[in-house]
Structure 1
Amino acid sequence: MINRIGQVMLYVSNQDEAREFWTEKLGFEVISEETNGPMRWIEVAPKGAATSIVLHNKEAVAQMNPEMNLGTPSLMYFTENLDQLYRDLTKKNVTVGDIVELPAGRVFNFADDEDNYFAVMETRKKK
């Protein structure tokens, strides 16, 4: 049985710029960086996270597997301080959407440097 999500594959045009975006603007850490023949991958994640993002070169993957769906996954991140994160990303010139109220909580979206969009939802601190 599957018991958790381990990695999410994100196919990007420029792995170095993508690594910089996720580490410098979102505060993720590089977990590993590997090269095996023509394939290179960079694994990033928030500190202590159980799930990571693996940045793959979109062009290289398409050459190896032309039938593969290389679209951006729809990812929802969680934060305990949505307003602070929104301010931080805005100061770092990250494209952000408006903060909206949903039945499940407040949320906004943001884009990486390749215009892939992701969402962030505020979670309540557990007491």
Structure 2
Amino acid sequence: MRFPPLGFGLGLRKKHCLAVIEQLPPVDWFEVLTENYLVPGGKPLHYLERIRRDYPLVTHGVSLSIGGTDPLDLDYLGQGRDLADRIEARWVSDHLCWTGVGGVNAHDLLPLPYSEEAIEWRRSRTPGPWAG
């Protein structure tokens, strides 16, 4: 899988949205943190929809925990997909890590062990083009 080249991008923070709308900085695209926009409606999502008219957007999450042992959060995946569809995200990404165990979130991006077992576990949790 290849991502389309978009040029020079920046991480978009909510506190900068209004300035981006008003000033249209010379940036080719913006990355938005998925978790900041999962609540339907509100000013931040309104700003994001406005920015999408002028810039391509991509989403990047920090909560999938693809390397964890807990079941994947299907609600989170669905909300992320809804957001990506709503803002016409050019691509969607998340960290290859684990973020908790037993339903307890560590609020950190924890590394996977360097082992064949960890590779196989990751493959088993990422169907489709991410599996390879």
TM-score (norm 2): 0.28
Q: Which has more helix, going by share of residues?
A: 2
Q: Which has more strand, going by share of residues?
A: 1
